[in-house]
Structure 1
Amino acid sequence: MANYAASVLAEAQLILAERFAAPEKRLKSPGVFGAFRKNTDIAIPNVGSLRTKEERPENGYFFNRAKRSVITSRTYDHTGTVADSTEVAFSWATYGDKAQTSLKRSDNNVFADAQILANELENMFKNIYEGIDGAALTYLGTNKTTVNGATKNGVFDATNDVFEIATANIARFIQHGKSMLRQNYYSGSADAILDPALFLEAEHYLNQGSGNSVNTAYQASLGAQIWEAIGLSDANYPIGAGYFVPEGTIGVVDWIPRQNREGKGDFDSVLGGYGSIVDPISGLTFAVHSYAQRADTSASGGDTQDEVQEWEISVDLSFNKAPLTAAGETTIFEVGIIDTPA
């Protein structure tokens, strides 16, 4: 793929790497998607490598938890039941964006070809990232648990499917959230994905040191990593809302076609070429497809006799959660701050 467009793409990548490293252009990767990305290798390692084509189905298999009452006496003729497993089908969606450059546009511009392409790529990366972060947030809301066994340090509202924590306890809501998880038999670390209001409270209370009159810094050792979800908002809980998710129980798998992984064709041709590029925002590898065609670009800073380069970058993602067999039960727990819990 040693052609003009490929060399411009390579140079544009270098420009982007420098641009995203600069303080004024640096983007923070966390958000909702960051929580999914961080947990993927724990929850579903290497599952994306099994997929070879868009139309090929892909399933995962997980052992079920067999809950039983304990026996109260020994018998000579005891009989047991056989445990089971669950098949989970992974659902994929494509996220992409497209842009256009031209051979002669830089001739009439202060910016070089690679700078123009770098700007187009940056816009595409940001657009896709906003889209997948929104999709991750939607996934949480659609898949939150409707079953919650916690009865202390808050109240579960079965109408809203939210564990409600009193405003008076907002300074310790991370403790209350972790307590809620333990009451549902989830120990260990967790991810707290919070709306801007609750994230601000968390930042404030977690950064109070021992020199203050009220030391709340101990909450930082409770094993909860906090993430700010910019688009998260629950009208029923304007004071603050978020999700507590046991670590390693959600994840997102990424995939691009084999032709993009291996590289094929010629970007400068009418049929085009296939390649890949690493997104500096999310760290995902995106598929690149590009082709050239004749065009009059004089109206957009080019020339009456020009070649346009059509670019598309994309990635397939599958958001997943740990499967549970009990109806309505998931590992995604929404919490909400409220003046008077139900």
Structure 2
Amino acid sequence: MDDESRHFRIRGRGARSNHEGRFERHRREVIDDGWAHEDEEPLPVLRTHTAIEVPRRLITYNRSPDLPFDRSINPYRGCEHGCVYCFARSTHAYLGLSPGLDFETRLIARPQAAEVLRRELANKRYRVAPIAIGTNTDPYQPVEKDFAIMRECLNVLEEAGHPTAIVTKGSLIERDIDILARMARRGLIRVGISVTTLDAKLSRLMEPRAPSPARRLQTIRRLAEAGIPVRVMASPMIPALTDPELEKILEAGRDAGARHASWIMLRLPLEVSPLVQEWLAAHFPDRASRIVSRLREMHGGKEYDSRWHRRMRGEGPYAEMIARRFDIAMKRLGLATAATPMRSDLFRPPILPGAQLSLL
């Protein structure tokens, strides 16, 4: 696979390279043959391409003891928001694609997701528990405007009375306020809005195609005004880059209407680590080594520790300081870490097309 950063203009993208994933046996490199001329035409812009996938199953189950949910769904693979720090980038390697630029330009949509979800929820063996959406890739990334897969899934979940938790940066969630508000009145929905920084310039560098921080705060406000429980997520906290903003992010979220909050430290699993370090060297060379050193301090000398209960926060004095600052700010601002549990008693298996209706 050629490094597309040499063949295309990548302005407006998070990653700066497109190296192969960990499962590829061969690596290709672009070499300058010396025939380039100054008067050649400029490189073309790297466009986003979306492929279609028909999933056999949509609900993914996990047994991670440090996650508040045991199942999730993802309408899309890859994410055009292009957040350079996204831990989900490494999952693109399973598709034979690069966790770099491929992750944000070669997307996979699942237009039949709602149909598959309906079938899974209607299964007699299904047992209800909250479904998380947006824990891997953002369900409200720009491509959702064309496919509307998320809205179709919400229609199924509302019909079934299924508890649902959504995490997003996308302002497109406002399109679905009608459904979300109805679910909120029944105790079936929670929404988390990720706010990584209040600095619009920094946000554009880190997450080039996500809504600006001010726009995300506006989304929190509109959801809250509709009676939808909203959590401001100060995630990820990046040492020596975004962590000084922790209290300001929480306060801005509270003022916009969020009543709950959370935080997670920057995670650098697998291919994500070199991508972030490459990005830091390009944009923040003065503090790149300091940031990586802080992460290693929190993970026993490694850039990442995948052990449960450690991967999200890290350990040691620095991690403890951030956690303490968070706790103090939460008390001062009147924010809560835990929300009211969602209802599961309203669940009714959806009716499949052509199925015989119950007389009871």
Normalised TM-score (structure 1) = 0.21
- Greater Rg by CA: 1
Q: Larger % of helix: which?
A: 2
Q: Which has the higher contact order (CA 8 A, sep 6+)?
A: 1
Q: Quick check: which one's strand share is greater?
A: 1
